[in-house]
């Protein structure tokens, strides 16, 4: 098992401080105890928590310093070959005691001493909150969320309790339960059984959406948007459909970065993608994740990425990724931003799970250059102002959508107002206004102020930057900025 192998590597390499981020400390303890039976050079795991103390006698109850002293004083037994066995001390929820300078100092002493003495401190905590004095002394390990087989076992056990006949567990149920902890999954299964007498994926999705919200960074998006509701972007649509087509072997798609002019449908595309390729979409709210503590933010991000891993195959949608770097007020926290980005970048590069990242960005100047480097992504796409053909398609979509009622839109026939410099967002708002105010499109157009006008410098700079660097969302190949757009005349559109 991945986690235990990693732990074993760290122990062999002599890392005597190991911070294990987990919401399921008992599972971690159980995993280690099981592994120990096959690993003769580990001594039995000692577990301390403040309420129960150490071991059966409840030694050191209520005193966070005492278990450290026990470890310092302990003598390692020897293996048959005469090697010293590893002494492992697990401290549950020990982050609670790290505000005490004496505890921090003693922990430092123990870890430094433990390196040569083969004594290891494992801090089991749901958050990552390592005091600066100890930062260099700890390696961090994530305990993974339960795999499909574990969830299967939990569901099967509950179902067996309910009736004497064995039920096979539906794959849809397991899919809905991924990303939950064992405890949460058990609760969700039980709730569904109580409500419906069976395990219903609908109940699980509902609970999962709630549980994801508790993290504060992740939200489950389960919308009905389709590619067909978006005009243009043909190259981008084709690329994603192909990259995410189910296949038996070969590399999994990693993700794409969407850059572009505001209102060109970057967010709308990202939201439609999951539904289109039948994968759940997790939205990572990276802009709001600046907690008061560095460790808190970083821990939350790690937790969010872990959940995404567990939910594979999934889509991870990071909107306006540059916001993470501007942070709170845009200054004074560059250290936090950099570390946070480091965490995300490392995950982007290294994650082996089938999680496809779709990130959007409006302001490339705020991103560190290494983030937009092409090899990090399967594609970096630029969404320019829509072409005439694309605009026609977008008009068609929104005239249909808002023209259902007997409104002004119908009355004016096929005539559409001049739309030079308009994005999809402006076409949409024009159609919406016409329907709302019950006026012809030309009148509604008076109320539309295109972004290309209000921020023309920015748009020009963005185009320049993207030219030759990004892929075009419109047609296959590299985007080339065209400065001279053909003058617009009134066009008729097909409905």
Ligand X SMILES: Nc1ncnc2c1ncn2[C@@H]1O[C@H](COP(=O)(O)OP(=O)(O)OP(=O)(O)O)[C@@H](O)[C@H]1O
Among residues 217 and 230, whose Cβ is nearest to ligand X?
Answer: 230
The site partner of 230 among Mg ion, ligand X, none (C-beta below 5 to 8 Å per kind) is ligand X
Do 191 and 201 meet the contact criterion of CB atoms below 8 Å apart?
A: no
Among residues 307 and 472, whose Cβ is nearest to ligand X?
Answer: 472
The site partner of 425 among Mg ion, ligand X, none (C-beta below 5 to 8 Å per kind) is ligand X
Task: Name the minimum Å distance from CB 256 to ligand X.
Answer: 14
CA-nearest of 296, 342, 347 to 131 is: 296
Task: Name the minimum Å distance from CB 240 to ligand X.
Answer: 15
Distance from chain centroid for Cα 364? 21
Among residues 22 and 267, whose Cβ is nearest to Mg ion?
Answer: 267
Task: Name the minimum Å distance from CB 369 to ligand X.
Answer: 21
Among residues 114 and 262, whose Cβ is nearest to Mg ion?
Answer: 262
Q: How far is CA 373 from CA 52, 244, 257, 367, 470, in A?
A: 51, 21, 10, 11, 10
Among residues 16 and 423, whose Cβ is nearest to Mg ion?
Answer: 423
Task: Name the minimum Å distance from CB 323 to ligand X.
Answer: 11
Classify residue 473 by its DSSP letter: S
Task: Name the minimum Å distance from CB 386 to ligand X.
Answer: 6
Torsion of CA 41, 43, 44, 49, to 10 degrees: -130
Non-local (6+) Cβ contacts of 222 within 8 A are: 205, 209, 280, 281
Closest-approach residue to Mg ion (CB): 267
CA-nearest of 132, 153, 424, 178 to 279 is: 178
Among residues 64 and 386, whose Cβ is nearest to Mg ion?
Answer: 386
CA distance 417 to 490: 7
E strands within 409-480?
471-472
Task: Name the minimum Å distance from CB 359 to ligand X.
Answer: 12
Q: What residues make contact with ligand X under the rule CB under 6 A? A: 230-233, 260, 262-268, 360, 362, 386, 394, 397, 423-425, 428
Among residues 264 and 372, whose Cβ is nearest to ligand X?
Answer: 264
The site partner of 264 among Mg ion, ligand X, none (C-beta below 5 to 8 Å per kind) is ligand X
Residue 241, SS3? Answer: helix
Helix ranges (H only) for 118-197 are: 148-162, 171-177, 182-196
Task: Name the minimum Å distance from CB 221 to ligand X.
Answer: 13
Closest-approach residue to ligand X (CB): 424
Task: Name the minimum Å distance from CB 378 to ligand X.
Answer: 20
The site partner of 428 among Mg ion, ligand X, none (C-beta below 5 to 8 Å per kind) is ligand X
Lookup: tokens for 437: 């105010």
Q: What residues make contact with Mg ion under the rule CB under 5 A? A: 267
The site partner of 262 among Mg ion, ligand X, none (C-beta below 5 to 8 Å per kind) is ligand X
CA distance 176 to 189: 11
The site partner of 407 among ligand X, Mg ion, none (C-beta below 5 to 8 Å per kind) is none
Task: Name the minimum Å distance from CB 145 to ligand X.
Answer: 31
Distance from chain centroid for Cα 174? 20
User: From its phi and psi, is residue 336 left (phi > 0), alpha (psi between -120 and 50) or beta?
Assistant: alpha
CA distance 153 to 169: 9
The site partner of 306 among Mg ion, ligand X, none (C-beta below 5 to 8 Å per kind) is none
Do 162 and 324 meet the contact criterion of CB atoms below 8 Å apart?
A: no
Among residues 408 and 424, whose Cβ is nearest to ligand X?
Answer: 424
- Both ends of the chain: CA-CA distance in Å? 57
Q: What are phi and psi of 360, to 5 degrees?
A: -115, 155
The site partner of 372 among ligand X, Mg ion, none (C-beta below 5 to 8 Å per kind) is none
Residue 88, SS3? Answer: strand
Among residues 179 and 386, whose Cβ is nearest to ligand X?
Answer: 386
The site partner of 265 among ligand X, Mg ion, none (C-beta below 5 to 8 Å per kind) is ligand X
């Amino acid at each position: 098992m991945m986690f235990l192998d990693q732990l074993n590597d760290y122990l062999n390499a002599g890392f005597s401080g190991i911070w294990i981020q987990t919401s399921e400390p008992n599972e971690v303890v159980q995993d280690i105890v099981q592994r120990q039976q096959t690993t003769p050079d580990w001594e039995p795991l000692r577990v301390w928590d403040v309420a129960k103390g150490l071991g059966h006698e409840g030694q050191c109850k209520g005193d966070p310093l005492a278990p450290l002293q026990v470890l310092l004083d302990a003598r390692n037994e020897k293996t048959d070959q005469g090697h010293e066995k590893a002494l492992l001390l697990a401290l549950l929820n020990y982050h609670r005691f790290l505000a005490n300078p004496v505890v921090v100092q003693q922990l430092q002493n123990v870890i430094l001493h433990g390196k040569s003495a083969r004594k290891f401190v494992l801090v089991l905590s749901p958050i990552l909150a390592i005091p600066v004095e100890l930062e260099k002394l700890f390696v961090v390990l994530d305990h993974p969320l339960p795999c499909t087989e574990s969830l299967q076992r939990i569901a099967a056990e509950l179902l067996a309790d309910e009736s004497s006949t064995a039920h096979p567990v539906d794959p849809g149920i397991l899919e809905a339960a991924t990303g939950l902890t064992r405890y949460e999954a058990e609760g969700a299964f039980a709730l569904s059984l109580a409500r419906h007498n069976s395990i219903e994926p609908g109940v699980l999705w509902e609970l999962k959406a709630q549980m994801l919200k508790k993290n504060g960074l992740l939200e489950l998006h389960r919308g009905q948007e389709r590619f067909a509701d978006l005009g243009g972007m043909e190259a981008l649509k084709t690329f994603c459909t192909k990259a995410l087509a189910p296949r038996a072997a070969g590399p999994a798609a990693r993700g794409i970065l969407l850059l572009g002019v505001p209102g060109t449908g970057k967010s709308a595309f990202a939201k439609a993608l999951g539904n289109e390729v039948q994968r759940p979409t997790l939205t990572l709210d990276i802009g709001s994740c600046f907690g008061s503590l560095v460790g808190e933010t970083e821990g939350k991000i790690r937790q969010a990425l872990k959940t995404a891993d567990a939910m594979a195959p999934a889509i991870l949608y990071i909107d306006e990724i540059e916001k993470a770097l501007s942070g709170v007020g845009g200054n004074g926290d560059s250290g936090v931003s950099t570390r946070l980005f480091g965490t995300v970048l490392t995950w982007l590069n290294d994650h082996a799970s089938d999680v496809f990242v779709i990130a959007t960005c409006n302001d490339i100047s705020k991103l560190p250059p290494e983030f937009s480097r092409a090899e990090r992504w399967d594609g970096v796409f630029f969404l320019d102002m829509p072409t005439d053909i694309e605009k026609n398609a977008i008009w068609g979509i929104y005239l249909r959508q808002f023209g259902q009622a007997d409104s002004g839109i119908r009355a004016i026939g096929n005539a559409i107002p001049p739309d030079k410099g308009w994005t999809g967002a402006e076409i949409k708002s024009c159609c919406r206004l016409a329907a709302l105010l019950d006026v012809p499109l030309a009148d509604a157009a008076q109320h539309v102020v295109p972004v290309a006008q209000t921020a023309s410098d920015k748009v020009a700079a963005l185009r320049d930057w993207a030219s030759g660097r990004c892929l075009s969302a419109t047609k296959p190949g590299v985007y080339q900025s065209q400065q001279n757009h053909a003058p617009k005349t009134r066009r008729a559109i097909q409905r």
